[in-house]
Amino acid sequence: MLNISDNYSHDSGDIRTLDAYKITKMPRWHLSFRRLLLLLFVVFVLFMMLPWTQNVRADGRVTTLRPEQRPQTIHATISGRIEHWYVVEGQAVKRGDTILYLSEVKSDYFDPQLVDRMGDQVSAKQGSIASYNQKAGALGDQVSAIQRELTSKTNLLFQKMQQTRLKLESDSIKVVQANIDLEVAKRQYEGTKNLYDKGLKSLTELEEKRLKKQETETKIVAAENQVASDRNDLEIYRNELTLAQHETANKIAKSQSEQFSTMGEKFNAQASVSKLQTERENYARRASFYYILAPQDGFIVKTMTPGIGEIVKEGTPVVSIQPAHYQLAVELYLKPVDVPLVAVGNKFRFVFDGWPSFFFHGWPGVSLGTFGGKVVAIDRNISANGKFRMLVSPDPDDHPWPTALLPGGGAHGVAQLNNVPVWYELWRVLNGFPPDRYQVETENNKSNEKAAK
């Protein structure tokens, strides 16, 4: 080949006939296999670039959104004996329909006229209250009369005291006049006596002057006695005034004491009336509890105490009822590690028991038979099963949930999180990283962002 040798071969021959060529020849399918591997690699790369919806899975059951729409148990309000059932299990009832009739079992309430008799007692007590009012009014009038009597008596005594003061002044003037007359009589007597000693006056004239002087002295004593009597009368009137005031005050205090006592008895009677009225209303309400009524429209689910003549105690459950009108929701339980990834407003996809579905967790767009939901509430405290409870309501922007769906059925939910490439999701899973959390866009968040800008 390199023309080194002088020997030259004129017949080159076919290389494919050589044994070395046959041994080292590559098979024809090898090239196809390489192409297949290349194609698979390209497909794998493209697959790794596909979008993947991260998710959090949780199982739960169908329930109702509002508490009053969930199945409830009706209890006996009072103790009684079952006399008659008006419904059967599975029957539809309206609000106020009679479910069960109970008869009385306590001896305190056996009297069928108990409410009427309590009404008679109330009427009697109300009559006694009216009597107490009249008595209190009469005592009030008596106090007013005593006060008017004291006013009249006081005015009379003041007038007598004024008259006595005037008389005292008059008698005091008489005493002064008598003293003046005594001075005159003494001077006349002394002058007559001097003249009598000189022989100019007779003894008769002297005796007349002495008599006149004695009469004047007597008048002075009488006038002074009258003045003393007037002063005594004035003091007596003052004492009478004080005594009248004290007596009147005692009478008024006694009347007021009786009045207050009457008012106290009246208040006691009013308290008794209120107590009797409360007992009458309690008896009337107890009579209404003999009939157990449906609290809302619904269906009778199960009777807890079905026997006729069976005695039930207060608060004993007798029947359970399912409300007829309710808004469905799903009650899910999340692991504590997944709770930070879900917030109120996040979307869920559900597969309900009994409804066929074809569901891909990572590609919800190609899933069939699933229903959408939106998170409305997440408990702030962990449940007894070690998970956090969450309520999810139907998504108004998605297909409506089945009308035949009933509370209590099973549901499998998947919370949709961020959209990431498949390679990122595989890398995250291999490294044990949690899914990416995203913020739910709401109208409030948009308005806050606009305000901030």
379-402 pLDDT, tens digit per residue, is: 888 888 888 999 999 988 888 888
pTM of the predicted structure, to 2 decimals: 0.55
Residues 415 and 438 in one domain: yes
- In degrees to the nearest 10, what's the CA dihedral of 296, 300, 302, 303? 80
Q: State which of 321, 338, 371 marks the end of a domain.
A: 321
- Please determine, for residue 96, whether its predicted confidence score (pLDDT) is greater than 80: yes
More confident residue, 133 or 25: 133
Task: For the beta carbon of residue 56, count every other beta carbon within 10 angstroms.
Answer: 22
Residues 192 and 264 in one domain: yes
- Sheet of 72-75: strand order equals 72-75, 317-323, 298-303, 92-93
Find all residues with CB under 8 Å of 57, minimum gap 6, and list them.
361, 412, 413, 414, 415
Q: State which of 287, 304, 335 marks the end of a domain.
A: 287
Residues 167 and 282 in one domain: yes
CATH number of residue 294's parent domain:
2.40.50.100
433 belongs to a structural domain: yes
- Closest CA relative to residue 318, chosen from 84, 31, 59: 84
Question: CA angle 364-369-370, nearest 5°?
Answer: 50
pLDDT single digits (tens) 233-291: 888 888 888 888 888 888 888 888 888 888 888 888 888 888 888 888 888 888 888 88
- Please determine, for residue 361, whether its predicted confidence score (pLDDT) is greater than 60: no
Which residue carries 């009013």 as its tokens?
270
CATH number of residue 179's parent domain:
1.10.287
Band the pLDDT of 450: cuts 50, 70, 90: low
Residues 257 and 339 in one domain: no
Tokens of 221: 């004593």
- Please determine, for residue 441, whether its predicted confidence score (pLDDT) is greater than 60: no
18 belongs to a structural domain: no
What percentage of the chain carries pLDDT values higher than 70? 83
- Specify the pLDDT at position 25: 61
Residues 271 and 330 in one domain: no
More confident residue, 190 or 201: 190
- β-pairing, 317-323 vs 72-75, is antiparallel
Q: What's the burial of 251, exposed, middle or buried (CB within 10 Å: 0-12/13-18/19+)? A: middle
Q: State which of 321, 341, 371 marks the end of a domain.
A: 321
Residues 154 and 83 in one domain: no
- Please determine, for residue 443, whether its predicted confidence score (pLDDT) is greater than 50: no
Residues 296 and 373 in one domain: no
Residues 311 and 266 in one domain: no
Residues 202 and 166 in one domain: yes
Q: What is the mean pLDDT of residues 438-449?
A: 50
- Please determine, for residue 442, whether its predicted confidence score (pLDDT) is greater than 50: no
Domain ranges, residue 361:
52-69+326-444
- Please determine, for residue 118, whether its predicted confidence score (pLDDT) is greater than 50: yes
401 belongs to a structural domain: yes
If one counts the domains in the chain, the total is: 3
Residues 194 and 257 in one domain: yes
Lowest mean pLDDT among 100-114, 149-163, 417-431: 417-431
